[in-house]
Structure 1
Amino acid sequence: MKRIIAIGLSTVFATTLFAAAAMADGAALYGACKGCHGADGSKTAMNVSPALKGQSADELLTKLKGYKEGTYKVQDKTAPMMAKFAKKLSDEELKTLADYIATF
């Protein structure tokens, strides 16, 4: 019984550490975004892009992937700066970033 509890606690601890690391990674990735989107994602970037704050992780990930693939446009315009940024990130990093921004 003690072994089962220890394994369960180890799993919870490892999951908590992973989540904390992902948040830290998301915060580090978001550092490049603050200039246009604001520290909390509430700024309208370049007077074009809507605020990031309040969007779900799924919405954000879809948009980030669209920028990376060149299929997402804002007001019928491509966003070269966003496309360049998104292309540098792996799909895992895009998800980490989207998950982090969704906490705003």
Structure 2
Amino acid sequence: MNKIIKIVAVTALMTPALFANTAACKGCHGADFEKKALGKSKVVKDMSKADFIAAMKGYKDGSYGGAMKGMMKGQVAKLDEAAITAIADELKLK
């Protein structure tokens, strides 16, 4: 029972953070992730889940991105692999 309570508590604490991350993304990428951020990025909704996850990991370690690499590195710095995957799932990327 204690494990269930802990899992529910952690999930409840993480959920607002995930929504906050996607809300921040929508400012540049559009409400439905249909825009090229600042006219330079790929359209996120057109990416595969694997490509999205690889891009986010690449932004984190500096191995991915062009002109907006520095901005995105800061945006994804606090996201761990589980959060990145959760965002991809929330976006329903295939």
- TM-score in terms of structure 1 length: 0.66
- Give 1:66 shift: 0.2
Q: Which of 81, 90, 93 lines up with 2:83 in the alignment?
A: 93
Shift of the alpha carbon at 1:101?
Answer: 2.3
1:78/1:43 Cα in 2 relative to 1: closer, same or farther (>3 Å)?
closer
1:40-61: per-residue Cα shift (whole Å, max 9, x none)?
0001101110211121111100
Please show how residues 48-87 of structure 1 align to structure 2 within 5 Å: 48-74=40-66, 77=67, 79-87=69-77
Deviation at 1:24, TM superposition (A): 7.9
Q: Which structure is higher in helix share?
A: 2
Pair member with larger Rg: 1
Return the offset for 1:38. Answer: 0.4
Compute the displacement of 1:100 (Å). Answer: 1.9
Q: Tell me the number of residue pairs that the alignment of Structure 1 and Structure 2 aligns.
A: 81
2:21 aligns with one of 29, 42, 47: 29
State the distance in 2 between where 1:35 and 1:51 align: 13
User: Aligned pair in 2 of structure 1 residues 52, 96: CA closer, same or farther (>3 Å)?
Assistant: same
Unaligned runs of at least 5 residues, structure 1: 1-20
Question: Normalised by the size of structure 2, how large is the TM-score?
Answer: 0.72
- TM-align CA RMSD: 2.3
Question: CA 1:24–1:94 in structure 2 vs 1: closer, same or farther (change >3 Å)?
Answer: same
Unpaired segments of 5 or more residues in structure 2?
1-11
Q: Partner amino acid for 2:52? A: L
Between the aligned residues of both structures, percent identity stands at: 35
Q: Specify which structure has the bigger relative contact order, considering alpha-carbon pairs within 8 angstroms and separated by 6 or more residues.
A: 1
